[in-house]
A and B are shown apart, each in its own frame.
Chain A
Amino acid sequence: MTPSAPGSLVARAHPFTSLTVTLAVVVLAFLLPASIGPVVLALLAIAVAAVVGDPASLTPSLIIVVPLWLLLLLVQGVLGDAPFTTWGPLTLSIGGLDEALAQGARLTAIVVASMLALRGFRASRFVDAAAERRWPFSAAYLVAATLQTIPRLRQRVTLIRDAQRSRGLRVQGSIVQRVTALVPLTLPLILGALADTDDRAVALEGRAIAAVTAPGARRTPLAPPVDTVVDRVVRWGSVLAVAVAIIWRITR
């Protein structure tokens, strides 16, 4: 995955801010009243990404959500109950379309926010931020390693695909050919990921990891990110928004 530009807002933000906002968007997408709530949330996420965040993150987000939107509109619109409306040659359920709008908006908000956070994520900054807050290193490493899983798998997929193609595997063509090619692609991917875990453990052991995982030990943050007032306001604002939404859901 291509990281966002170093100067972009999401790359400059404190790592805890972008992760908090993303988690808040995921929760709010399901708490806010459908379909207006998720739609506003999705538009807000797109606006942030386009205007002040990382506009390039919208392309991979669209690649993910556009097929899902089409699928939702088709399934919900065709299979939904009366009343119906007519769109050209199609007769679609109004209730189904409304449901598709809510679900599509939820997915869009979550995907756009996650993509923005993932592209802006820097493992070293996150680990430094965690060390600054005296988080246990193992917890920080777990989060950092998890968020790096997708880019690592993408790199590995490219290597495996190239290696298998050089052995004559055809990864393009008909649907049958593509499905057939999945097995020789996914099996090395899974086995390689497992082996990677072992190798990583040996690498970390040789790099004094035992010192920092001992009780009371603290890793030196090399370049701790600055936690600005804006960062803190955005984080607490996100938490507040989730809290208000939860209270609204309980009391309505």
Chain B
Amino acid sequence: MTVRFDGVSFSYPGTDAPALRDLSCVFVAGQVTWLFGKLGAGSSTALLVAGGLAPILTGGRRTGSVRIGELDPGDVANRAALAGRIGYVSAQPHLQLSGLAETVFDEVAFAPANLGWERGRIGTAVLHALARVGAGHLVDRVPTELSGGELQRVVLAAMLVLAPKVWLLDEPASALDPAARAGAYALFREEARRGAAVVIATEDADGVLEVADRIIVLERGQVAVDGVPAEVLGSDACWALGVGSTTVGALWRAAAERVPAMADDGVPLTLEAAAAKVMQA
């Protein structure tokens, strides 16, 4: 399912300053789209609006058109039709627990049970989802007693079990160790290959650079740059926005300030690219 924003503006309650301003963009099915920007640029809000959580639950005022397929997620009448099709993961996994589950199994099974799946199907799907995020061993644990990283994997499994058509991920790997983070990004890549529209809002440029098909840089709730991640992140225009870069990219630019020739043939963004460039020199 493709998510389409046409001229969308959104303001939270109690403020006149819009978090999104006339935002127009498309999150294409089968692609991983990376939302990038400075704090307050509107990435998290864009995810909430895309999922209909804003304004339905947050309050506030939205103008313009948002469509998931043909449905407006901000219309209360479409909530049941979209239930289970959107996988929203926030940056704080402990806030995403159902509050009704005594075990990780029950936690992951919560949404399928709400959708009225048959019990046997739920059991198979839950165990499969937990295994895919490397959390199979947690199945009998109490959700509230898990570590941050374990909880983040369980929350991912709780969404993965639904095989959502749209993934809205807000810093989805913030509590994971490097190996688990790489596994999570590989999982999102697989989900896009399955046909889902995957949108990741993250500052983790090192992790997501090679996973994303596309990057949308937001500034003050608007699209500032939209393109291929390696090209956009390596460009001077993007650097000038002050949104940052990968660790290697930022380091290279710092060095290029002293040795301007280093930036002549572009800025490498990964360790491999930097090594290759050094070897060429």
The chain A residues found within 8 Å of chain B, CB to CB, are 122-124, 127, 131, 137, 141, 144-145, 148, 198-214, 217-222
- Total number of B residues with any Cβ neighbor in A under 8 Å: 41
A219 touches B101 (CB 8 A): no
B90 located at the interface, meaning its Cβ lies under 8 Å from any Cβ of chain A in the complex: yes
A222 touches B109 (CB 8 A): yes
State in angstroms the CA–CA spacing of A117 and B159 once bound together. Answer: 33
The chain B residues found within 8 Å of chain A, CB to CB, are 51-53, 56-58, 79-80, 82-84, 86-90, 92, 95-102, 106, 109-119, 122, 158-159, 162
B53 touches A202 (CB 8 A): yes
A209 touches B114 (CB 8 A): yes
> Can you name 9 A-B pairs with beta carbons within 8 Å?
A122-B102, A124-B100, A124-B102, A202-B53, A202-B95, A217-B80, A221-B113, A222-B106, A222-B122
A207 touches B119 (CB 8 A): no
In the complex, what residue of chain B is closest to A203 when comparing beta carbons? B96
- In angstroms, how far is the closest chain B Cβ from the Cβ of A188? 16
B80 touches A220 (CB 8 A): no
- In angstroms, how far is the closest chain B Cβ from the Cβ of A10? 16
Chain B residues positioned under 8 Å from A220 (CB to CB) = 112-113, 116-119, 122
B96 touches A201 (CB 8 A): no
Chain B residues positioned under 8 Å from A210 (CB to CB) = 79-80, 82-83
A141 touches B114 (CB 8 A): no
Chain B residues positioned under 8 Å from A214 (CB to CB) = 80
In the complex, what residue of chain A is closest to B119 when comparing beta carbons? A220
State in angstroms the CA–CA spacing of A233 and B162 once bound together. Answer: 41
Looking at B52, B57, B58, B87, the one whose CB has the most chain A CB atoms below 10 A away is B57
B80 touches A205 (CB 8 A): no
B99 touches A211 (CB 8 A): no
B106 touches A211 (CB 8 A): no
A148-B99, A212-B115, A217-B116 are known; give 11 further A-B pairs, CB within 8 A: A124-B101, A137-B114, A200-B95, A200-B99, A203-B96, A205-B56, A206-B96, A209-B114, A211-B114, A220-B119, A220-B122
Chain A residues positioned under 8 Å from B84 (CB to CB) = 208, 211
On whether A207 and B110 interact (CB within 8 A), knowing A148-B99, A202-B57, A202-B95, the answer reads yes
